[in-house]
Amino acid sequence: MKPPKPTARPDKVSLWRYARLFRADLLSAQPARLYRAWMAEFRTPFFRSFLLNQPDLVAQVLRDRPGDFPKSARISEGLRPLLGQSVFLTNGETWQRQRRIIDPAFAGGRLRDTFPAMQAAAAAMVERLTAARLQKVEIEEIASHAAADVIFRTLFSIPIEDELATRVFALFRDYQRSQPILNIAALLPLPRWVPRFHSRKTRRTARQIRALITQLTDRRMEQIEQGNAPDDLATKIMTTPDPETGACFSTRDMVDQVAIFFLAGHETSASALSWALYLLALYPEWQDRVAAEAQALEPDSDFAAMGQLKISKDVFREAMRLYPPVPMMVREATCPQRFRDRDVPAGAQLVLSPWHLHRHTRLWQNPDDFDPDRWTSENGKQCQRTAYIPFSAGPRACPGAGFAMIEGPLLLSTLMRQFRVSPLKGCDPVPVAHLTVRARDGIFLQLQPRT
């Protein structure tokens, strides 16, 4: 049994039909030929776009010449109400200044410092599930709750049960269910003064989330000024000056960054964890291997215990290959290019699709199969270097990639140490792209305590 993926559309459809599919689900709007193409061109009446799957072209755009291919303004159309001028959307000097302040908080040594908070969130997740005595569970909801708890504990040193944290989580859940990864305005050449087709609910929910994050940020600033702030990620970021200008983030700057930390650290982690648990339910032999390995995790285990979770890391890595949380990234060519004997004009949109690159039939062996052992094979090692970008790559790679690769395997192992999961008949999930890759109707699994 192969893990599910969306049904691809026919190679040729009208622009109107494509726009409707695009709005409903970014993944099923794409043709099947993209799983084998090195490069594909799409033309609209307003602009040209090129999807790049050839590894050396992907490397040019992301690693070798990132300055020539900044983040496309079109990708920001759907996310601007919530994320403002966050590091995920900015370019140039603004982005460089933001990364100079943010990156130290996610340096290697800080991961060890955040590990106890991650452990506490993992233990709380098990306690909630044990107390509820559930059998049929919607695993995305559980994963979202746990991932949000990790973010609140590591960022602001509060559990998700904190009143403000609970309200942010509830509003964010509503936001991600209604907001596509790309706004329809991304397909149109609109001047800046034209409204961006955000629904009234999207704008209202984004304002509410940002208002609550402002309260959290103001509360932390008061603690910093009084000298009693916890030594967590928020304190580290808010007290780190830009080494070139000496300026720290303003409150507005920090609200923008907390919004993307929550999106990147909660939405993406929950997506990856949900699909990893579903895959383990489909393949019980791998589930048992993860559970056996997880016996190394004790309540008082220190950060060094993560070195023993090699199977869990490979499973989590494979889940992100098959179901990359962010399925597509868009860059813009600032000057004319020549790729694969094709002219790429300035202003063209360059689409880099982890969803298609990770399942490319000319790169990966058995690309649609779930096989965590592939990462020890020569093909897997080669593809990991050249065709695996769940966190993007190059200077714009996610600063929290190391954080995610601790959090995901830790939560996965903690769950498998205590519970067994199995699929429910007639409840096969269908992946769709909203803010991240989620299941259209949820992921329902049977949950049973391990004895």
Q: Is the pLDDT of residue 447 over 70?
A: yes
Q: In what order do the strands lie in the sheet with 329-332?
A: 39-43, 48-52, 349-352, 329-332
| CA 404 to chain CA centroid, nearest Å | 9
Q: Is the pLDDT of residue 192 over 60?
A: no
* Percentage of the chain exceeding pLDDT 90: 69
Question: Which pLDDT score is estimated for 177?
Answer: 64
Mean local confidence (pLDDT), 158-165: 94
**Among 30-34, 198-202, 341-345, where is mean pLDDT lowest?**
198-202
Domain for residue 8, yes or no?
no
Q: What is the pLDDT of residues 430-445, one digit of tens each?
A: 998 877 899 989 999 9
Q: Is the pLDDT of residue 200 over 70?
A: yes
Domain for residue 10, yes or no?
no
Domain for residue 419, yes or no?
yes
Domain for residue 9, yes or no?
no
Question: Which pLDDT score is estimated for 22?
Answer: 60
Question: Which pLDDT score is estimated for 59?
Answer: 98
Q: Are 445 and 278 in contact (CB under 8 A)?
A: yes
Domain for residue 239, yes or no?
yes
* Percentage of the chain exceeding pLDDT 70: 89
- Domain range enclosing 132: 15-449
Please list the residues that pair with 339 across neighbouring strands. 342
DSSP helix/strand/coil, 32: helix
Cα–Cα distances (Å) from 367 to 315, 387, 437, in that order, read 15, 12, 18
Domain for residue 3, yes or no?
no
Q: What is the pLDDT of residues 290-317, one digit of tens each?
A: 999 998 787 778 898 899 999 999 999 9
Domain for residue 115, yes or no?
yes
Residue 276: CATH number of its domain: 1.10.630.10
Q: Counting Cβ atoms within 10 Å, is residue 312 exposed (0-12), middle (13-18) or buried (19+)?
A: buried
Instruction: Look at the chain and report how many structural domains it folds into.
Output: 1
Mean pLDDT of the residues in the chain? 89
Residue 313 amino acid letter: K
Q: How confident is the model at residue 15 (pLDDT cuts 50, 70, 90)?
A: low
Q: Is the pLDDT of residue 193 over 50?
A: no
Classify residue 84 as left (phi > 0), alpha (psi -120 to 50) or beta. left
Q: Is the pLDDT of residue 220 over 80?
A: yes
Q: Is the pLDDT of residue 408 over 80?
A: yes
Question: Which pLDDT score is estimated for 6?
Answer: 74
Q: Is the pLDDT of residue 197 over 80?
A: no
Domain for residue 284, yes or no?
yes
Measured over the CA atoms of residue 198, residue 199, residue 204 and residue 206, the dihedral's sign is negative
Q: Is the pLDDT of residue 173 over 90?
A: no
Query: How is 328-369 classified by DSSP, letter by letter?
Result: -EEEE-SS-EEETTEEE-TT-EEEE-HHHHTT-TTTSSSTTS
